[in-house]
Structure 1
Amino acid sequence: MFGILVSAANVALGFVLRSVIAKFFLYFALYFFVTDTISLLQSSHLLPTAVSLAGAFGSVGNDVWYFLDLCAFSYGAPLVVSAYVTRFIIRRLPIIG
């Protein structure tokens, strides 16, 4: 009976050490890598900012802005852009995507 319990504990401990802890450290390192990379890209002005987007939409007339505001474009456009950037970054990670 004692041998069965030791064997079960050994299997459980092996599972925890091999899969749970190793993946925790791996994803922890990937999280910090991605957050530091994004902050570096934002500080070097390689990603679009609100100022550049405001200049791009500056020539849109009032009649078009009415329908854009009706469809909540000011909320949806940054949401879609950030979703595409996140998808691009996640697909470039060889472990995840």
Structure 2
Amino acid sequence: MFGIVLSALNSVLAWLVRSVLVKFAVYFALYFVVSDILAILTPLLPTASSLGGAFAGIGSGVWYFLDVFQFSVGLPAVLSAAGLRFIIRRLPVVG
């Protein structure tokens, strides 16, 4: 009876170490690596004030259609989706 209980405990402990503990350590390390990289890259990204000069040459007729099609909402959504897709595809565990 003791051998069966010891074998079951050994199996549960082996599963716990192999699948739960190792995955926790890997995801914990990935979280800190990504958060540190983002902390470094965030100041390098362009801000809204630096992009104002890029849109200064657009005429009022074009601005009307950009406002009608909600360009101010759509462009950040598309850019963030593309950036997220790029990041997810580069993660070896996920993509």
Instruction: Confirm or deny a common fold (TM above 0.5).
Output: yes
Deviations 1:8-33 (A, max 9, x none): 33222222211112111211111121
- Distance, in Å, in 1 between the alignment partners of 2:63 and 2:30 is 40
- Distance, in Å, in 2 between the alignment partners of 1:31 and 1:89 is 13
Confirm or deny that 1:38 pairs with 2:38.
yes
Partner letter of residue 87 of structure 2?
I
Selected match of 1:80 from 78, 81, 85: 78
Gaps of at least 5 residues in structure 2 are none
Deviations 1:27-71 (A, max 9, x none): 11111211211221122x2x2322233222222222222222222
Gaps of at least 5 residues in structure 1 are none
User: What's the TM-score once normalised by structure 2's chain length?
Assistant: 0.76
| Counterpart in the other structure of 2:92 | 94
- Distance, in Å, in 1 between the alignment partners of 2:70 and 2:6 is 61
Distance 1:7-1:69 versus aligned 2 partners, 3 A rule: farther
Note the aligned Cα RMSD (angstroms): 2.1
Percent identity, please. Answer: 57
Residue 2 of structure 1 and its aligned partner are, at CA, apart by 4.7
Instruction: Please identify, of 19-28 and 56-65, the stretch whose mean Cα deviation from structure 2 is larger.
Output: 56-65
Q: Describe how 1:1-97 pairs up with structure 2 within 5 A.
A: 1-43=1-43, 45=44, 47-97=45-95
- Distance, in Å, in 2 between the alignment partners of 1:24 and 1:73 is 41
Give the ranges of 4+ consecutive aligned residues of structure 1 lying more than 3 Å apart after TM superposition. Answer: 1-6
- Distance, in Å, in 2 between the alignment partners of 1:25 and 1:65 is 50
